[in-house]
Amino acid sequence: MGGSGSGSYYRSGIKDTTDGHKSLDVNWLNRKGYLAPGRWSSIHWWRGDEHVGDIGIRAKEGRLVLEYRCGVGGGEWESVTESVLLSWTYCNYGGRRPWFICPGVRSGVPCQRRVAKLYGAGKLFLCRYCYDLAYDSQRELKQSRLTRVEQNIRRRLGGSTSLAEPFPPKPKGMHWNTYLRLKHKAEYAELRYEAVLFERLRAQNYL
């Protein structure tokens, strides 16, 4: 980072990453004065003794411009400039607190969530929803619920609850409609289970 225009400050902060991610906390930046328009600051992340990254932050009216370099594999580095909008909410007893508006885009839909933290888990600094961080316990709950749905259906059809066994045939006396409805429900639970598993694996690539 070089250069300083008239009226711009250059400040520097050091932030330790305990959770393994480079993250930006808008309240921390605010307390440090880094959000004031015209400020030009930088943050250096350390994990223990290891220097894991730097970022330059230019505060403009209503937004921050983040400038950093991102490893793209094979020792190549890419310069990234990312613009993040800020939003403020006013508190009952005076004062105001800042929020980032997440600049993420998923499947063509802008995220635009109002969040306190952005994570540098991939190329861009995005919110936890965009990066699927910290939701592993929820995914586990979802997976065990989906497994139970499938096991209950198998039990109801008089089969084994083991998902490794073939799906039970239609019991005598059960309507085909009922059987097919249950079979579809079990298949859907299986598909959902796989989708959740895929999400978990994908999220772990970021960790």
Residue 113 Cβ vs Zn ion, minimum distance, rounded to whole Å: 5
Cβ atoms within 10 Å, residue 141: 11
29 belongs to the binding site for Zn ion (CB under 5 A): no
Size of interface with Zn ion, in residues (CB under 5 A): 8
Kindly tell me which of 104 and 168 has the beta carbon lying closer to Zn ion: 104
Residue partners of 175: CB distance under 8 A and separation at least 6: none
Strand, coil or helix: 168: coil
Token readout for 153 is: 């259906």
26 belongs to the binding site for Zn ion (CB under 5 A): no
Piece in contact with Zn ion (CB under 5 A), picked from 40-48, 109-117, 146-154, 189-197: 109-117
103 belongs to the binding site for Zn ion (CB under 5 A): no
Token readout for 185 is: 């429900």
85 belongs to the binding site for Zn ion (CB under 5 A): no
130 belongs to the binding site for Zn ion (CB under 5 A): yes
Strand, coil or helix: 4: coil
Task: Please give the single-letter amino acid code of residue 172.
Answer: K
Length of the chain: 207
104 belongs to the binding site for Zn ion (CB under 5 A): yes
Query: By the criterion CB under 5 A, which residues form the site for Zn ion?
Result: 102, 104, 111, 113, 126-127, 129-130
